[in-house]
Structure 1
Amino acid sequence: MPKESVIEFYEALRQSEALKQQSKAITTIEEMIKMASKYGYCFNSKDISEANGSETPKKGEELIAIESSETNGNNFPQQYHYEYEFSQMPEFGEIAQQFEKLKIKPSTVDMAVYEKSFREEDLQFADVSPTAPDFQQRYLESLRSYMDLGVTPQPEYAWRQFHLINLDRHVEHPLYEEYFQAKVRLLELFESYFGTEVRFSGSLWYPPNAYRMWHTNETQPGWRMYLVDFDKNDINGDEKSFFRYMDPETKELVTLGEKPKLVRFFKVESEKSKLFWHCIVNRTSANRWSFGFQISSQWMKKVLKN
């Protein structure tokens, strides 16, 4: 039965280091179903929900363990973000080459439907501080709001919070298998580079005028690393792409203008007083790609010592 097939797949992940390594490149249910079918396990999202409700994890066992200690252990100065150009990262050449294989535009994305989901007021919400009196009401409205785009099932960008393309929800196009293998290879390179476990947290394509509204990721605390790039080298016109966050201590809005080939690190917190509110806007005419990773504080040993 399908539910049993899910449980058998989980057991295969526990038993096989190769499968476990591949699973670290997965960020969506669609990818999990696609990977499982490759190895003869057939199930759908409903089967996964049923299996998750009945499957009891083995004591002390995690299929993926990412250390997220509150301390950096290296006496490095703590900042809310760190940013580097690819060229500033030591020994980054092979990683940069592999990264190029991830910047795809799946043919399964209906761009007409995507453009229909654009809301100027949601993009402009990036200018409103999370401390503003009306912020919480507008934020909660965006969380609860899905747009009727006239298609079934609804794509990810039907959710007002998310006017962009989640590449990992698009698994039925000719480029997907090569793209997935490039993700697996990139993780291998990163784990060798940092000397610690790494896993994907998101694979995102921001077409022109794309945005991700204010959010905190508080349910998944720990360090994040993002690789950001564009399909144009010159994006210094009047319209900008930026990453904006609210300083948890001062409540000041910090806006980081972007350019091609950036590596960004920041830390997600779960304590209410330390939430890392952030949003992203691409107002340029270029396509922006952003690939996120969960990573331990060990990244500092590699990067900050240089």
Structure 2
Amino acid sequence: MLCSQLHGSNFCDCLNWKGVCIYQEFYDNGNKPKEERKVFSCKVVDRILHEESLLIIKFEAPHKLAIDLAKPGSFIFIRSDENIYYDVPISILESDINTNIVTVMIEIRGIKTKKILDLKKEGNIVIRGPYWNGVFGIKNIEKQKNNHVLVLARGIGMAPMMPVLKRLIQNDNKVTLIVDKQPFNDIYVNEWLDKLELIPQEMNLIEKGQLSPEAKVAIKSLIKYNNVSLIHIAGADILTYKVIDYLDELERKDIDLSCCNNMKMCCGEGICGSCTARFSGHRVKRLCKVQTDPRNIFGGRRFI
């Protein structure tokens, strides 16, 4: 347990905790532990498998849950049966509050995601949620009004970018979308992009571990001629790192950033430590709960 006072100490010693006060929540709840996130068994209404490695699942959720999952950065833990050890965190592609249909896109990689292949249409899917910290820099997204925004997406990052795109367009922003479909053969979110009347520009964003020359030209040109106020990065951490480095090279730290939270998660509550990362000064951050600017997440990070 993280809280020193609940351990029996007489003072607060939460030196490495920058989230909510656990003791205050305990006190406000009548000195009783708060309920954990609820587990739901939902009906699968559709199941589409692409390329044997990309699975789209649509399931019917309770109305309140569908509303909660409509926010940018929403994610859930899902599994195909009652085995809690097969929980896997998956970002929301779309949550339709009119039909209560929630859509997720899953890249089949390891034993947990392979287990999800057992799900059948008209069968049941077990989910735990809602959770909302799937995107860093939410405040930067929410404050954009009538601005020009650049969204860079690569691979499975195409899925969690959709709620962000929807919010940006709702706030009357002009969005330029650049998509790198690698490692897939197609852009499988075109169905949802059509609803937003967005046509993506296809481009190779990463080349030999670096930001590609064409990506650099596109970013520099859009910043110069379109007065871009926010860049949202939906992809692997390496893409976020390289974009931040390039913006530093251009001396454009004034541009707001947001990006996907790609940390490995297990409990989602900031307790188990699976999502912890170490920073300079021996600081430890639990990235399933920390909500801040991406520059603060990717700066001063230790990799050993």
Whether TM-score is above 0.5 comes out as no
- Shorter-chain TM-score tier: under 0.3
**Bigger helix share:** 1
Q: Which structure is higher in RCO with an 8 Å CA cutoff and minimum separation 6?
A: 1
Task: Please report the TM-score for the alignment, with normalisation by the length of structure 1.
Answer: 0.24
